[in-house]
């Protein structure tokens, strides 16, 4: 089983990329589980026709000890098993607690033994790398961390913080850095800026996605690129990204 986490600042496109990576791996015949670790709980919506699924945190509040795996794991037509951690009521509680609760609940209920996924993908908000948000990289949940960034200053700043967090855990048996995914925004010298950032952390830009109007169009329809525009260059770039990630994570 390969285990990876995709991090990035809010709005950088990490959930779109995560959904398309999940869909691409599922198309290879793999059993894929995607776990949304963003309080907005919209990580997996493109795999569900744009609809959001109920979160582990909300279902825990409703069902308590009667909660089952069937309640929280939602299969899709593409073959991806989806889970959303969820977050607190706005203004009340810590968003990171939702992630901690979800991951602990999945373990307690034996999700990985029951579903036997070939790949587990954690989609994690990276604006703040602390508490529950760092849990996938430091508790043995993920083996590799991939960071989505662009050439924009704040995206590079957030990416650097995420890479630094991974570096700080080096030597403890926690997740290691798999590389950067450049989601281009069309800013000057974007490829150079991403390459320099990667070099700072002794890693590489393992995939690049060009800016394309197809992406917001697909999102408006609640679809992944692979169903919305399967023959497009964007679909080819995302497929190449999934191949790179799978190879780096040790998939065969």
Can you list the domains of the chain with their CATH numbers? 2-248 (3.40.50.300)
* Distance from C-alpha of 138 to C-alpha of 142, rounded to nearest angstrom: 8
Q: Could you count the other beta carbons within 10 Å of the beta carbon of residue 171?
A: 7
Q: What pLDDT, on the 0 to 100 scale, is given for residue 91? A: 58
Task: Name the pTM for this structure.
Answer: 0.93
**In the predicted structure, residue 177 carries a pLDDT above the cut 70:** yes
* Distance from C-alpha of 112 to C-alpha of 182, rounded to nearest angstrom: 30
Give the model confidence (pLDDT) of 123-170 as tens digits. 998 776 766 678 788 778 899 999 999 999 999 999 999 999 898 877
Which residues have CB under 8 Å from 194's CB, separation 6+? 149, 150, 151, 156, 180, 182, 205, 208
- Judged by phi (left if over 0) then psi (alpha if -120 to 50, else beta), residue 36 lies in beta
Q: Which one-letter DSSP state was computed for residue 211? A: -
Give the model confidence (pLDDT) of 194-243 as tens digits. 999 999 999 999 999 999 999 999 999 999 999 999 999 999 999 999 99
The encoded tokens of residue 106 equal 């999945």
| Catalytic site positions | 9, 14, 40, 127
Phi, psi of 91, rounded to the nearest 5 degrees? 90, -10
Q: Which one-letter DSSP state was computed for residue 242? A: H
DSSP line for 118-174: SEEEEEEE-SS-SGGGGHHHHSSS-SEEEEEE-SSHHHHHHHHHHHHHHHHTTTTT-
């Amino acid at each position: 089983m390969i285990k990876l986490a995709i991090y990035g600042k809010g709005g950088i496109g990490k959930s779109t990329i995560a959904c398309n990576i999940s869909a691409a791996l599922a198309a290879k015949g793999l059993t894929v589980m995607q776990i949304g670790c963003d309080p907005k709980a919209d990580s997996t919506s493109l795999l569900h026709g744009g609809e959001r699924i109920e979160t582990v945190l909300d279902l825990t509040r409703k069902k308590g000890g009667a909660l089952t795996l069937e309640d929280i794991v939602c299969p899709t037509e593409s073959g991806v098993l989806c889970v959303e951690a969820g977050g607190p009521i706005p203004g009340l509680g810590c968003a990171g607690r939702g992630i901690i609760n979800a991951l602990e609940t999945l373990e307690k209920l034996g999700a990985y033994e029951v579903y036997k996924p070939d790949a587990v993908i954690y989609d994690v908000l990276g604006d703040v790398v602390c508490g529950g948000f760092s849990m996938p990289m430091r508790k043995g949940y993920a083996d590799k961390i991939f960071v989505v960034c662009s050439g924009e200053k704040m995206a590079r700043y957030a990416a650097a913080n995420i890479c630094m967090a991974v570096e700080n855990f080096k030597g403890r048996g926690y997740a290691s850095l798999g590389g950067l995914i450049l989601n281009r925004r069309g800013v000057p010298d974007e490829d150079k800026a991403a390459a320099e950032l990667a070099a700072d952390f002794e890693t590489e830009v393992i995939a690049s996605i060009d800016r394309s109007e197809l992406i917001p169009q697909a999102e408006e329809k609640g679809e992944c690129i692979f169903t919305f525009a399967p023959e497009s260059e964007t679909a080819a770039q995302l497929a190449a990204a999934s191949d790179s990630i799978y190879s780096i994570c040790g998939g065969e």
